[in-house]
Structure 1
Amino acid sequence: MSLLKSISYGVGVALVAITSATHAASEFLVSTEWLERNINDKNLRILEVSVDTGQFERGHIPNASNINWHTDLVDPVKRDIASRENFQQLLRNAGINKDSTVILYGDNNNWFAAWGAWVFDVYGVNNVKLLDGGRKKWESEGRPLSVKQTSVKPGNISLAEANPALRAYLSDVVSVAKQENAITKLVDIRSADEYSGKIFAPAGVQELSIRAGHIPGAVNVPWGQAVAADGTFKSAEELRKVYAAVGIDGTKPIITYCRIGERSSHTWFALKKILGYDVKNYDGSWTEYGNSVGVPVANLSGTVWGGK
């Protein structure tokens, strides 16, 4: 049975059919089959946001433009997301108009593509979708890649001011940790070893914290529990069960966090865009919290700096 979704582009209506064979868990996801079929749609803008910033040059989805997560999506001077002015100019340079449909994808199960989707949401950009399964699924299916530089006309999109309702700060999570906020739920999406304090960070990463462990009161649902074997998101029904098992059912506000905010964006997407829960992403995450003086830390492994 087909699910038909009508999307207005300002001039006419495009009918997007997603069949059961190319099922998507949310209207904010598109399948690889759908994207290849609609890849030349003039109102479609495709953006790659990968962890490995050299992936794009080695081959990318045709008509895609590259977004460098550690320079384009963050402020170049202070630790913050990109400013409204800089992000707006970036999107205009990528040919994005007010009526464009934006498709984001990347490597590592769309970690930084989901970060990008969160930044788009913060600035009130509508009609933004993730390619379900990301770059890995596209490549595994033998779909086309290009090394050709994408040429686009400048866009005319205008951004709203940043929406603070989608973002959590250190003070927000400290209030939960100190039990001053009994309503909000914290979801730590890192690995079980990071959560317990057995390790400070995944092997090979540069962003470290002085302390290991997790924010008191947080439940641990590693981000990978939200995806199927092929990297696509699990169905809404499956996701509800995953999070309900640890008391996250959408009845209370949620804050997601990880190490630097990218994996937690992936879980933010699952909870917000697929399940429709009230969710903020704490992009400061453990590198901010674990380096902060005077905050409570839960460390099940008893580690200190140096891992002893």
Structure 2
Amino acid sequence: MTTIAYAHPEKLVETEWLAEHRNDPGIRIVESNEDVLLYDTGHIPGAVHIDWRRDLQDQMVRDYITPEAFAALCRRNGITPDTTCIFYGDKSNWWACYALWAFELYGHRNAKILNGGRDKWVREGRALTREKPSYPEAAYPTPAARRDGEIRAFYEQTLAHQRAGLPLIDVRSPGEYTGELLHMPEYPQEGALRGGHIPGAKSMPWKTAVKEDGSFKSAEELRKIYEGDCALTPDSDTVVYCRIGERSSHTWFVLTYLLGHKKVRNYDGSWTEWGNKVGAPVTRP
């Protein structure tokens, strides 16, 4: 496990540790990428593939799958409530953090992130395979409910949060924050009618939290960023957002587990909802 003095170091594993323990009983390695084709080109041996859109979202209601569907997803991937799920993926673990956050919505808290993600594992020349694992179906009871009220913010809650002057962190790029970019060039389908940011939100791009190799910066560096520059405290009631909730899941993980902030919620509707919402207040510099 990592030895850096994070608030919850048990939520991270290093590539060296995973290479030695990937066959341990009770562990399930989960790959979740933006590029859903990457898994088929080669993945960590034993890793299952969870597609953030196909497996975790109900496209008909633009929401996450039901607790019943989540339990079925875990069962078919050989995951029990006691299984330690270790998530990793591309983009410095954007989607791995998103999948972990989604798992935690259903109460599966025995979940960790592979520090540095897929790119670090590949760069170090560690084992990859194209063989897809098969696990016996596991027993996973249907969660009683999602933890929406604890770690998730909806539009109405975010609006009330903004009106109350409580901390909002916009983790998008500076161009998105200022409104110069209505959408990221590579994501034209995720644009909005209006550019800008939620009034009162501070800009702190998600990538500020990671080093060049995609691994997380030290706890001391992260405290300077979020408790210094952003003026947050461990007791701050904070809402984070981005474009569709994936980059803000990364910052949610940093604040919640690496810094130990007690109340952080991810506004997963983010700018694709807010920027298109009639009457939602928007600010541009």
User: Which residue in the other structure is 1:199 paired with?
Assistant: 181
Does the CA-based 8 Å contact 1:24-1:31 persist in structure 2? Answer: no
Which of 30, 33, 38 aligns to 1:55? It is 38
Query: What does 1:250-289 correspond to in 2, within 5 Å?
Result: 250-277=234-261, 278-289=263-274
Task: Determine helix, strand or coil for the equivalent of 2:138.
Answer: coil
User: Which residue in the other structure is 2:283 paired with?
Assistant: 298
* TM-score w.r.t. length of structure 1: 0.87
Does the CA-based 8 Å contact 1:104-1:116 persist in structure 2? Answer: yes
Query: What does 1:15-94 correspond to in 2, within 5 Å?
Result: 18=1, 23=4, 25=6, 26-94=9-77
Does the CA-based 8 Å contact 1:24-1:132 persist in structure 2? Answer: no
Counterpart amino acid of 1:228?
K
Counterpart amino acid of 2:232?
I
How far apart are residue 157 of structure 1 and its match?
Answer: 2.3
Task: Determine helix, strand or coil for the equivalent of 1:27.
Answer: helix
% identical equivalent positions: 45
- Gapped regions of structure 1 (runs ≥ 5): 1-17, 301-308
Higher RCO by CA contacts (8 Å cutoff, separation 6 or greater): 2
How far apart are residue 24 of structure 1 and its match?
Answer: 7.6
Residues 1:190 and 2:176 aligned together: no
Q: Distance in 2 between matches of 1:151 and 1:57?
A: 15
User: Which residue in the other structure is 1:11 paired with?
Assistant: none
Does the CA-based 8 Å contact 2:184-2:191 persist in structure 1? Answer: no
How far apart are residue 66 of structure 1 and its match?
Answer: 0.5
Which of 135, 148, 170 aligns to 2:118? It is 135
- Gapped regions of structure 2 (runs ≥ 5): none
Deviations 1:93-127 (A, max 9, x none): 11001221110111011111101111111111121
How far apart are residue 19 of structure 1 and its match?
Answer: 6.6
Larger Rg: 1
Deviations 1:141-174 (A, max 9, x none): 0000000010101111233410121110101121
Q: Distance in 2 between matches of 1:252 and 1:38?
A: 36
User: Which residue in the other structure is 1:106 paired with?
Assistant: 89
* TM-score w.r.t. length of structure 2: 0.94
Distance 1:162 1:241, change over 3 A: same
Query: What does 1:90-239 correspond to in 2, within 5 Å?
Result: 90-158=73-141, 159-163=143-147, 164-177=149-162, 179=163, 181-182=164-165, 184-205=166-187, 206-239=189-222
Q: Distance in 2 between matches of 1:287 and 1:19?
A: 35
Task: Determine helix, strand or coil for the equivalent of 2:40.
Answer: helix
Deviations 1:41-96 (A, max 9, x none): 12110111000000001100000011111111111311111211111110111100
Task: Determine helix, strand or coil for the equivalent of 1:110.
Answer: helix
Q: Distance in 1 between matches of 2:2 and 2:201?
A: 38
Deviations 1:170-213 (A, max 9, x none): 01121233x2x23x310000011110111112112021100000
Counterpart amino acid of 2:198?
I
Distance 1:228 1:24, change over 3 A: farther
